Amino acid sequence: MGEKKPTAIALLSGGLDSALAAALTKRLGFGVVGVNFSTGFCTGQGRCDTVLAVGQALGIPVRLLDVDQEYLEVVKAPKFGYGSGMNPCLDCRIFMLKKAGELMEREGAEFVVTGEVLGQRPMSQHRRALDLVAAESGLGDRLVRPLSGRLLAATWPEKQGWVRREDWLDIQGRSRRRQLELARQWGIEDFSQPAGGCCILLEKSYAARLRDLFRQRGPQALTQEDFALLRHGRHFRLSPKAKLIVGRDETENAVLEGFSRGRLRLEFPDVPGPTALVEGPVGEEELVLAARIAARYADVPPGEETRVQVLGPEPRVLRVRPLPPDDPRLRELRVG
């Protein structure tokens, strides 16, 4: 009884459920090492700070691991498909748990802990999905969900006699009442609110842009830069091979300038206006249309033309009249 219990790897998202699962594991006497994976698709500000704050409050070390390059391949071709947006729910979970399993081996830990709750999320936390993820990740019974442990099959810690079944909790469903009460009891205050999991991949506008790019260029042709550019600006599909991206404010204009290599850049020398990028081959008619769309968002006096600088391999200047705000092409060509 006096022997020191082994160590667990706890996935920490910054949310309450994962913090509670790690806290309960530690309260049962196990060593705990937290881990958070950066996939490149999270939009929340201060996410890493929240995870580190959770680790500090629980008194556990936290590993922050960057997996964005590998995760792109999951998004491009998920074995189990997408959720409501372009979020590869099951494949994402399997990927992260495989990575957690690798960390488990490196750290000499015995099992992996998550904050999953039976029945909380329809796509990824029903019983069949939980069993599938455990099997596909290769963790099997070394994957422990302490918040619903009494409701699930026995796992490695139970089989080894390190815990009793009643040591786990029996939380299930979408209500968070019990979790919030436990947080009050255990003094857990630093956590983010639930945001549906995969952040930007769930956003309708981003998902629409990504589907459009998959259709036009194919998933495997896309680079990390392509995925990143989808976050910024207004996107217009000029043709199957060409697209216009128009900055929405000064910050986005500066960001788009950083993506201008290999793309045409449109600038407004005479009036305040957006930075705009044209990617893909365009003919004269499409280029003029792109300039007119971009000019719609510049401070051009009503009814007047303006100059648009086209910066690229062959710089030139166009004179165009902005598309009227009610021109149907603004809506028809807009992506997301």
E strand residue ranges, 240-321: 242-246, 264-267, 276-279, 306-311, 316-320
For residues 182 and 245, state if they share a domain.
Answer: no
In the structure encoding, which two tokens stand for residue 238, read together? 């000029």
Residues 72 and 179 both lie in one domain: yes
Amino acid symbol at 62:
V
Domain boundary among 199, 217, 244: 199
pLDDT in tens, 257-284: 999 999 999 999 999 999 999 999 999 9
Where among 199, 214, 243 does a domain terminate? 199
Domain span holding position 302? 232-335
Token digits of residue 55: 């680790």
Cα separation values, 296 from 31, 172, 242, 267, 311, Å: 59, 52, 19, 13, 19
pLDDT digits (tens, 9 = 90+) for 126-177: 999 999 999 999 999 999 999 999 999 999 999 999 999 999 999 999 999 9
**Which pTM value belongs to this model?**
0.88
Domain containing residue 72: CATH number:
3.40.50.620
Contact 78, 109 (CB under 8 A): no
